Structure 1
Amino acid sequence: MSSGERLTALRRDRRPYLVRRIVNGWVRFYTERFLVPGFDALGPGLDVTSPWNIELWGGGISAGSHLHLHAAKGNFVRIATWRTGDREGRIEIGDNVLISPGTHIVASDRIVIGSDTMIASQCYISDSDWHDTYDRTAELDKHRPIVIGRNVWLGVRAIIGKGVSIGENSIIGAGAVVTRDIPANCIAAGNPARVVRELDPSRGFRTRAELFGDYERLQRDMDNLTRFLARENTVLGWLRSIVAPTRAD
């Protein structure tokens, strides 16, 4: 077992505050150098975890402010567009969107993801079948745009197929396969997905946008929390937890 694998098995993060800052600095550098150039347009406030496990491929990828893009070891994120003749796929991501580990978003035509949308782990969103039913060597007309509305929540391992529209505020259950339009303000689940419950929009929805109203304060609060959680951590204790972890770690 490598030291990295030991670390992932620990019950708490033993790294001192300074070590965390150094690691975060490396993550920011890698993100700016290798990920940011992959976007045609990108708003401020990008937050990335494990950027070396994120693949951006093709042109026409854009995102708004405060995109949270999280990958993990063994759960890489892929956001890709494909060019076919004169047509190049496009992926348009709104503000405050969360994309979790293992998610793949692949466009031959156009995929729109509304602001404040949350995409759980290992979701698959594709606007194409990629091969014709009878001609397995060509895509032909097996592509149609996908539109995911504002404040949608996709559960773990949800699959969103070509030509689908999902209305604002709706929730797609874990493992659902969406092959037809889902209206706004509802919960849909199953394979194929169908509406199982209506939501009451008059109650109002608290969205991810509220997290970023005072972004500078949020950053300060997160830094103070990191300091607090690491207050008892030492370099020697951290190194010892790598080579000889105990139940206390």
Structure 2
Amino acid sequence: MRKDHRPFWLKRLHRTVMRWRSRHFLEPQFDAVGPYMDAVYPQYVTVHGPNISIGRCATLRSARAYPITLTTWTSADREGRIDIGDHVLISPGTRILSSDHVRIGSNTMIAGEVYISDSDWHDVYDRTSEQDAHSPITLEENVWLGYGVKICKGVTIGRNSVVGAGSVVAKSLPANVIAVGNPARVVRTLDPDRPLRLRSELYADPPALEAEMDKLESYFLRGNSFFGWLRALVAPTRRD
């Protein structure tokens, strides 16, 4: 359907159930998790392995067809680690895998179907072993990864930098640049005279933000009724 026919109270109930599900099933899977996590459909976020942490006001946008997967791998000599900062956005279909260490700085935005892996998982000559085919990844604060970006082992992406959709980052990128392509290369430098607004500003007062969002949703869903929602589910028309 092109419209949300739910009455406001039903949408709030759905959000309450999702938050309970997140607290009860998802949050205990992390070694550490900050307050005010917002996980849409937390049943489609999977966390495998130890040493996975996430900061405050994280936004996880998963979907049935595009789950979010965070995975660490344990070997005889080390354990992988994933550390995600505050106010980070992770979009549907993102996969983050670590056999070494993946660090994601605060205020980072990760678009859909991004793949981040700090290991090749198999040696070039010994296909039965990882050997030394691993190296840590660091995304510094306020990085923005476009749709379908792939980040390879050993990469550091500098503060505020943007990586265009579909790019493959095989070598480190400096701060304050825009990079695109396969392999990704710098095509522009950010204007140092223009201020950057961070996600942390949006989430400075989470309860106040939620109250404001409730007001907006109540306005946009005004006039919706329970029976109108049921009718749209079983007998939709072009107006729906």
Category of TM-score, reference length = shorter chain? over 0.9
Structure 1 residue 32 and structure 2 residue 23: aligned?
yes
Q: Which runs of no fewer than 5 residues in structure 2 stay unpaired? A: none
Matches within 5 A, 1:194-209: 194-209=185-200
Structure 1 residue 104 and structure 2 residue 95: aligned?
yes
Match of 1:3 in 2: none
Whichever residue aligns with residue 176 of structure 1, its letter is S
Moved over 6 A (4+): none
Tell me which moved more, 125-134 or 12-21: 12-21
Matches within 5 A, 1:134-149: 134-149=125-140
Tell me which moved more, 224-233 or 236-245: 224-233
Whichever residue aligns with residue 248 of structure 1, its letter is R
Give CA-to-partner distance per residue, 1:162-213, whole Å, 9 cap, x none. Answer: 0000000000010000000100000011000010111123322111111011
- Tell me how far apart the structure 2 counterparts of residues 39 and 73 of structure 1 sit (CA, whole Å): 21
Q: Which runs of no fewer than 5 residues in structure 1 stay unpaired? A: 1-9
**TM-fit CA distance, 1:86:** 3.4
Give CA-to-partner distance per residue, 1:74-119, whole Å, 9 cap, x none. Answer: 0111011110113111101111000000000011000000010000
Structure 1 residue 178 and structure 2 residue 176: aligned?
no
TM-score of the aligned structures, taking structure 1 as reference length: 0.94
Whichever residue aligns with residue 209 of structure 1, its letter is S
**Pick from 128, 138, 142: which aligns with 2:119?**
128
Structure 1 residue 223 and structure 2 residue 214: aligned?
yes
**Pick from 67, 71, 79: which aligns with 1:80?**
71
- Tell me how far apart the structure 2 counterparts of residues 86 and 29 of structure 1 sit (CA, whole Å): 38
- Tell me how far apart the structure 1 counterparts of residues 198 and 104 of structure 2 sit (CA, whole Å): 15
Tell me which moved more, 18-27 or 142-151: 18-27
Whichever residue aligns with residue 26 of structure 1, its letter is V
Match of 1:7 in 2: none
Match of 1:5 in 2: none
**TM-fit CA distance, 1:56:** 0.6
TM-score of the aligned structures, taking structure 2 as reference length: 0.98
Match of 2:235 in 1: 244
Whichever residue aligns with residue 116 of structure 1, its letter is N
Whichever residue aligns with residue 181 of structure 1, its letter is S
SS in structure 1 opposite 2:24?
A: helix
- Tell me how far apart the structure 2 counterparts of residues 215 and 48 of structure 1 sit (CA, whole Å): 14
Whichever residue aligns with residue 18 of structure 2, its letter is V
RMSD after superposition: 0.9
- Tell me how far apart the structure 2 counterparts of residues 87 and 70 of structure 1 sit (CA, whole Å): 30
Match of 1:15 in 2: 6
Match of 1:63 in 2: 54
Give CA-to-partner distance per residue, 1:1-33, whole Å, 9 cap, x none. Answer: xxxxxxxxx011101112112211211121111
SS in structure 1 opposite 2:93?
A: coil
Whichever residue aligns with residue 218 of structure 2, its letter is R
